[in-house]
């Protein structure tokens, strides 16, 4: 944990307390995270709602570690945020890929269509999105891709390749898409960006995505993006 960068999910207690993308957690309430797994470190952070915990972090560009006090709370993540940009254009921020992300994005797109009557183009903002569930990355991609490959996975036996294709039920086609990425866009975010780009449904703008975290995460599950 202390050797890894991460991005806090928006609207969580860590985000509100001022934890920033790229911060390295080196201690929780004075206990070092060195040698701890992510699960073990997470357990140290857990506690009663309303109680406080202090994270010691190292921030890029700063000489000394700093302590940040966080008030624990119930994490209720709104993974899709929508803004009507006017004249048929919409902005959709996906903060993470959780159980209802695909459904929530579809609803937001439907609401946008009802308001604007036509979709001329959209921006999908995946900056600082640390990823999440693979099935939701597939569902999000499937909303826009009329046909073609979404993702391929290979285990140790390279002869056993699993390919997920678009369902050909895409509701939102025929308009341009811009996907925003940065160095903290990882895992499921990279799958969506890659699928939309490979199928010529979107242009990708911003910064090179995290990559390293993405590869590490999927190697543990013996899955590889082609």
| Active-site annotation, residues | 187, 198, 212
Compute the half-sphere exposure of residue 119: CA atoms within 13 Å on the CB side of its CA: 21
- By CB atoms closer than 10 A (0-12, 13-18, 19+), residue 88 is middle
Please say whether the beta carbons of 147 and 171 come within 8 A.
Answer: no
Cα separation, 155 vs 180, in Å, equals 30
CA angle 57, 16, 45 (to 5 degrees): 50
Cα separation, 188 vs 132, in Å, equals 6
Torsion of CA 44, 46, 51, 52, to 10 degrees: 40
Q: Which residue has the tokens 């895992």?
A: 187
Dihedrals φ, ψ of 42, to 5°? -65, -35
Dihedrals φ, ψ of 16, to 5°? -70, -30
Cα separation, 66 vs 142, in Å, equals 43
């Amino acid at each position: 944990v202390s050797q890894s960068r991460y991005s806090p999910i928006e609207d969580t207690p860590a985000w509100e307390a001022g934890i920033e993308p790229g911060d390295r957690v080196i201690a929780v309430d004075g206990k070092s995270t060195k040698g701890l797994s992510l699960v073990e470190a997470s357990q140290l952070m857990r506690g009663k709602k309303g109680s406080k915990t202090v994270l010691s972090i190292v921030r890029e560009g700063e000489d000394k570690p700093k302590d940040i006090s966080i008030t624990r709370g119930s994490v209720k993540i709104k993974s899709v945020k929508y803004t009507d940009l006017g004249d048929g254009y919409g902005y959709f921020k996906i903060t993470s890929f959780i159980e209802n992300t695909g459904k929530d994005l579809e609803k937001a797109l439907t609401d946008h269509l009802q308001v604007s009557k036509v979709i001329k183009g959209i921006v999908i903002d995946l900056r600082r999105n640390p990823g999440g569930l693979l099935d939701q990355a597939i569902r999000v991609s499937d909303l826009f891709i009329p046909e073609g490959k979404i993702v391929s996975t290979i285990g140790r036996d390279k002869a056993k390749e699993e390919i997920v294709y678009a369902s050909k039920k895409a509701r939102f086609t025929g308009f341009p898409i811009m996907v925003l990425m940065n160095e903290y866009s990882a895992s499921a975010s990279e799958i969506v960006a890659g699928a939309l780009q490979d199928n010529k449904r979107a242009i990708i703008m911003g910064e090179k995505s995290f990559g390293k975290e993405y590869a590490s995460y999927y190697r543990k599950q013996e899955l590889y993006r082609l």
